[in-house]
């Protein structure tokens, strides 16, 4: 079993963009969130988790959850760059945007865990399937490690769950980047298709 320090080290190796977060405390909590999320599963690194939106959706041909997170985080910053280039400062918190994007799927170790998947499938009537989606579990992780509520909000509502509420500014950028990531990668032929 990997120690928490080994898990944190792996997170830093998988997500070099974490160093873009200037606030040291926020950066530390982003790393802690992923290390804690991994520690609750059989995964020890983010790059051990297949690169797909949900466990049974088409996966990246070349890449893992680490590349998904990195891509979405950079794309969200790119959206902010484009808006600010034309409109100037519109109130986007760049540090928070990095943290929200890098943590938007922090619940995926739990949802993608083969042990959890097998346990839930064994008695769907008792657990539901999946018992708790990565978005909802991500809220638990974010709040447990003391990340700001805004990061927990993005984890919980970057996905379809967010259709029930109004997303924050940073979450709106993350949601758009996440959606664009999968759409563009599909059109670019970068996702595995049935039968391959
Ligand atoms: Fe997600
Ligand atoms: Fe995502």
| Rounded mean pLDDT, 47-57 | 97
Q: How confident is the model at residue 93 (pLDDT cuts 50, 70, 90)?
A: very high
Burial of 44 (0-12, 13-18, 19+ CB in 10 A): middle
Domain residue spans of the chain: 48-187
pLDDT in tens, 66-76: 999 999 999 99
Using the predicted structure, report yes or no on whether residue 196 has a pLDDT greater than 60: no
pLDDT at 1: 84
Kindly list the distances between the CA atom of residue 16 and the CA atoms of 54, 63, 74, 102, 166, in Å, as whole numbers in the listed order: 24, 15, 11, 10, 30
Distance 52 CA to ligand 1 centre (A): 9
Distance 109 CA to ligand 2 centre (A): 12
Query: Which ligand places an atom closest to the C-alpha of 68?
Result: 2
| Rounded mean pLDDT, 79-87 | 98
User: What kind of architecture, by CATH, is found in domain 48-187?
Assistant: Orthogonal Bundle (1.10)
pLDDT in tens, 26-40: 999 999 999 999 999
| Rounded mean pLDDT, 48-62 | 97
Which chain residues have CB less than 5 Å from ligand 1, an ion? Answer: 105, 159
| Rounded mean pLDDT, 35-48 | 98
Query: Which ligand places an atom closest to the C-alpha of 179?
Result: 2
Using the predicted structure, report yes or no on whether residue 44 has a pLDDT greater than 60: yes
DSSP string, 5-52: HHHHHHHHHH-GGGGG---HHHHHHHHHHHHHHHHTSS--SGGGSBSS
Distance 94 CA to ligand 1 centre (A): 20
Q: How confident is the model at residue 193 (pLDDT cuts 50, 70, 90)?
A: confident
Distance 88 CA to ligand 1 centre (A): 29
Using the predicted structure, report yes or no on whether residue 150 has a pLDDT greater than 90: yes
pLDDT in tens, 153-178: 999 999 999 999 999 999 999 999 99
Using the predicted structure, report yes or no on whether residue 194 has a pLDDT greater than 80: no
pLDDT at 195: 53
Query: Which ligand places an atom closest to the C-alpha of 54?
Result: 1
Using the predicted structure, report yes or no on whether residue 3 has a pLDDT greater than 90: yes
Distance 135 CA to ligand 1 centre (A): 6
Distance 118 CA to ligand 2 centre (A): 23
pLDDT at 107: 98
> Is the preceding peptide bond at 99 cis, omega within 30 degrees of 0?
no
């Amino acid at each position: 079993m990997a120690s928490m320090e080994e898990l944190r080290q792996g997170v830093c190796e998988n997500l070099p963009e974490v160093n873009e977060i200037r606030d040291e405390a926020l950066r530390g909590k982003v790393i802690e969130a992923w290390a804690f999320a991994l520690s609750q599963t059989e995964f020890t690194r983010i790059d051990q988790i297949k690169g797909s939106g949900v466990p049974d959706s088409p996966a990246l041909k070349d890449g893992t959850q680490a590349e998904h997170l990195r891509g979405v985080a950079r794309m969200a910053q790119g959206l902010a760059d484009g808006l600010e280039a034309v409109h100037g400062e519109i109130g986007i918190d760049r540090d928070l945007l990095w943290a929200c994007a890098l943590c938007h799927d922090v619940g995926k170790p739990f949802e993608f865990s083969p042990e959890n998947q097998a346990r839930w499938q064994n008695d769907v009537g008792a657990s539901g399937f999946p018992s708790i989606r990565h978005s909802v579990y991500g809220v638990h992780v974010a709040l447990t490690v003391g990340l700001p509520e805004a990061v927990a909000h993005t984890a919980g509502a970057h996905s379809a769950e967010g259709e029930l509420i109004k997303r924050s500014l940073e979450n709106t950028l993350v949601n758009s980047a996440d959606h664009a990531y999968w759409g563009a990668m599909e059109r670019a032929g970068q996702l595995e298709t049935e039968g391959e």
